[in-house]
Structure 1
Amino acid sequence: MLRTLIILVLVVTAAAGAKVWHDTMRDPVVQRLSIVSKALDPGTAPITIALLADIHVAGPDMPPSRLNRIVGQVNALQPDLVAIAGDLISEKRTATHVYTPEEIVAPLGKVNAPLGVVIVPGNHDHWSDWSALRKQIAKHPHLTVLANSAAQFGPLAVGGSDDAFTGRDDLEATFGAMAPLTGPRIVVTHSPDIFPQVPVDVDLTLAGHTHCGQIAYPRGGAPATMSDYGDLYSCGVSRQHGKTMVTSAGLGTSLLPIRLFTAPEVWLIEIRPPQR
């Protein structure tokens, strides 16, 4: 009886370990969404945006070599624009290796998107050496940091909020910078908690930060949401007052280098014109 119990415990432990390893290290799931923007003329070709978040480059789970592979997968999706919703870095205490800003940014230099790459900072970026990270980003002309600012990316008006979790966001400045821009209006933010303050004329808000819990329950939901609004905006697609937001589960990990029932993911979002 005791031997059987020991074997059962070992089997269950091995199965749980295999599940954690799979959920943490698997290739990202590609989630898809299509929305309509009245800012596009009928007959205009759709525009695609790939959303990445919470890359958290650090050992053991997200070395630059793994990020290189993910960048290749993103390039294969052929997005017009790539948005990175913060937390490029991770200095978690459980990390087996902390990489340099140059090592962290180098794989992102290989992203291939005709309209470029938008990056907003997250809380872990600010808790680390954000200035050094930003200097490395600036070496790649197609990588653009938006922090309480905005820019025109082809037909898209894109605003980027600095991190709300650490109190660095200035939404008045962000939306003010977007005002003179034209086309579908996109807001990129690390924390989804700014969503109630996003104007109704914004077509799409893109967020991360929550990891969809990182460690979740098998049937949905998670013990921790990392949002002041609980699970209201913490994962996936949220719609409110005609607005749409996508909160990504992200790619890497924080605190503990494990995921459970929350696969890493990349979102591919199509913005299409109204029908004629």
Structure 2
Amino acid sequence: MIILVIIIALWIDIRYIEPNILIEKKLEIGKGNMGEKLKIVHFTDTHLGPSYTLEELKKLVEKTNKQNPDLVVFTGDLMDHPGQYPYKEEIGKVLSGIQSTYGKYAVWGNHDHGGAGVRYYEDIMEAAGFTLLQNESKAVYTEAGHKINVIGIDDALLGKVDIQGACKGIKEEAYNIFLMHEPDLVERVSANNYDLVLAGHSHGGQIQIPFIGPIYTPGLAEIYTHGLYELEDEKYLYVNSGVGTTKMEIRFWNPPQIAVLNIKLPTVSEDIQ
């Protein structure tokens, strides 16, 4: 009887409680206390559908705005089955409510290409006020004069990745934020072209075993599965465990999250302008 009660309680948590908890994962990146700080809110893998609704997305928008972010980034997989999703026109209206000082940026995920997603994703993100990066970069200048390059590549599973094209003209002296859907692609990018890489795709495995980690992650999220990695000195990768679920509407030891990253920027140099 005790074992049965434990199993039932565990199932209730995995299926009905934990998938509906949205946490704020806060991280400090960079060394020293001098210079300007940049606050980034990163969310990914919403997989809008029966298991993640527009009402829940509205709550995500509210949580994001409470952080007063400088940048907001989304790293793909907006709808779980885009061709079947009935409220496509509403998504852009909801996401347009996100406010940020220096803009909102997004890249493509495999679900944004597949399942007829390619027909809708670009228009939705444009309506939401996001700049959709597809093997390209955009420069942002902060009030203190820092140059921030936001670099984004296409999805690797169903799109066409062009890392060289995305990094064209990028200078190491600026602070370079690299957006990709699949985190293992970071191994194809020269460390000279990024200071911080933000990715999703893995869902953190959805199910994690305490002190062990994910029991399964998809292709191109097998080396880097979740959390913060310092790949070289002051060169970081953050793999966000995402918001929604796919295939199975379950999570364990791995609640949905938005990441709030406070970046300590280096001292402004005259040669980055």
Q: TM-score, normalised by structure 1?
A: 0.85
Q: What residue is the counterpart of 2:183 in the other structure?
A: 192
Is the 8 Å Cα contact of residues 226 and 234 (structure 1) preserved in structure 2? no
Of the candidates 133, 149, 154, which is equivalent to residue 146 of structure 1? 133
Q: Which residue of 2 aligns with 1:272?
A: 264
8 A Cα contact 1:152 1:181, kept in partner: no
Is 2:99 the partner of 1:112?
Answer: yes
Q: Could you tell me which runs of 5 or more consecutive residues in structure 1 were left unpaired when the two chains were aligned.
A: none
Structure 1 residue 180, shift from structure 2 partner: 6.4
Change (3 A) 1:228 1:68: closer
Q: Are 2:53 and 1:63 equivalent residues in the alignment?
A: yes
Aligned mate of 1:23, from 3, 7, 18: 18
Per-residue deviation, residues 163-222 of structure 1 (Å, max 9, x unmatched): 11335211111111x526973111000000111122222110000000110112133312
Task: Give the CA deviation at 1:64.
Answer: 0.5
CA pair 182-82 structure 1, distance change in 2 beyond 3 A: farther
Which of the residues 252, 255, 262 maps onto 2:254? 262
Q: How many residues are aligned here?
A: 259
Gaps of 5+ in 2: 142-146, 269-273
| Contact 1:157 1:185 survives alignment (8 Å) | yes
Give matches, 1:164-175, under 5 Å: 164-175=156-167
Q: CA deviation at 1:10?
A: 4.4
State, as a whole percentage, how many aligned pairs show the same letter: 26
Q: How does 1:1-276 map to 2 (within 5 A)?
A: 5=1, 8=2, 10-20=4-14, 21-36=16-31, 44-59=35-50, 61-91=51-81, 98-128=85-115, 129-140=117-128, 142-154=129-141, 155-176=147-168, 178-179=169-170, 183-201=174-192, 202-228=194-220, 230=222, 232-242=223-233, 243-274=235-266
Alpha-carbon distance in structure 2 between the residues aligned to 1:161 and 1:36: 28
Does the C-alpha gap of structure 1 residues 114 and 255 become closer, same or farther in structure 2, counting only changes over 3 Å? same
Shift of 1:272: 1.5
Name 2:271's counterpart in structure 1: none
TM-score normalised by length of structure 2: 0.86
The letter of the residue matching 2:183 is P
